Amino acid sequence: MGKVISVVNQKGGVGKTTTAVNFAACLGVMEKKVLLIDMDPQGNATSMSSIQGESFNTIYDLMANPEINAVYPTGLPFLKIIPCNEELTGAEVELLQMDEREFVLKKTLQKYKEKFDYIIIDSPPSLNILTVNNMVASDGIIIPIQCEYFALEGLSRILETTKNIKSLNPDIELYGIVLTMYDKRVKLTYEVENDVREHFGDTVFKTVIPRNVKLSESPSFGMPIVLYDISSIGAQKYLELAQEFLKKMK
């Protein structure tokens, strides 16, 4: 059975989508069968994955009707995607009115767990019902954080939510915290890094993702970094992160 992993942080712009897309792509490069799911109505992961045109089925459609096909190919043979668009905003309201509203995604994904080694879910910048669905459906979470003021406070909030989720998903694990947009020229980076490593020890990935312009350019070309520029430091580090993760999971 494949592992389901949500990339979560309620704070906006910390690198969730960049991490979800590129981590998924790097696992795909390592010939793991990977399904990326865009669960953020902003649809950023979808636009990074070269799906063209208007008419595609989304995770929103799939949750409403599990029989349809919503899995699409990407530029990488081992990476598939279930996209979304702003319609998913409607799902927030609809989910709130449903029975077992926290379990809708989990039930939807059940059959895909047999077909994929990893299912990676990108989350919105909120701890709303969509994120709760993501966490209930997940074996583990990865939390990207930016080394800045209040990073630790933000982290405690997610960890508190994760604890609460245990009443619905007792086995959920914290697979790791990853430092993103790491800039060693900034003093605060070291201070936050030291704090986070002191508090969370081995839960923090040794690999850090540096600020790299190629990572911010690749979405506008609809490509993960390994297709956009494999030789960039951003690509190298996401590959390293995927490797570190696979070692940890052994």
Ligand X SMILES: Nc1ncnc2c1ncn2[C@@H]1O[C@H](COP(=O)(O)OP(=O)(O)OP(=O)(O)O)[C@@H](O)[C@H]1O
Binding site for ligand X (CB under 6 A): 12-18, 40, 42, 44, 125, 180-181, 209, 211-212, 215-216, 219, 234
Q: Does residue 16 interact with Mg ion by CB under 5 A?
A: yes
Backbone angles phi, psi at 115, to 5 degrees: -95, -15
Helix residue ranges per DSSP H, 44-117: 44-47, 59-64, 88-96, 104-109
d(CA 202, CA 200): 6
Nearer to ligand X, 48 or 113 (CB): 48
d(CA 16, CA 24): 12
Q: Does residue 133 interact with Mg ion by CB under 5 A?
A: no
Q: Does residue 17 interact with Mg ion by CB under 5 A?
A: yes
Report in angstroms how near the CB of residue 73 gets to ligand X at its nearest.
22
Tokens of 28: 């795909």
Report in angstroms how near the CB of residue 115 gets to ligand X at its nearest.
26
Q: 14 is in the binding site of which of ligand X, Mg ion, none (Cβ under 5 to 8 A by kind)?
A: ligand X
Tokens of 25: 């792509």
User: β-pairing, 79-82 with 34-38?
Assistant: parallel
Nearer to ligand X, 4 or 178 (CB): 178
Q: 5 is in the binding site of which of Mg ion, ligand X, none (Cβ under 5 to 8 A by kind)?
A: none
Report in angstroms how near the CB of residue 67 gets to ligand X at its nearest.
30
SS (H, E, C) 111-134: HHHHCCCEEEEECCCCCCHHHHHH
Binding mask 28-47 for Mg ion (x = CB under 5 A): ----------------x---
d(CA 106, CA 63): 10
Task: Classify burial at 49, counting beta carbons within 10 Å of its beta carbon; exposed 0-12, middle 13-18, buried 19 or more.
Answer: buried
Report in angstroms how near the CB of residue 130 gets to ligand X at its nearest.
12
Report in angstroms how near the CB of residue 126 gets to ligand X at its nearest.
8
Q: 162 is in the binding site of which of ligand X, Mg ion, none (Cβ under 5 to 8 A by kind)?
A: none
Residues that bind Mg ion (CB under 5 A): 16-17, 44
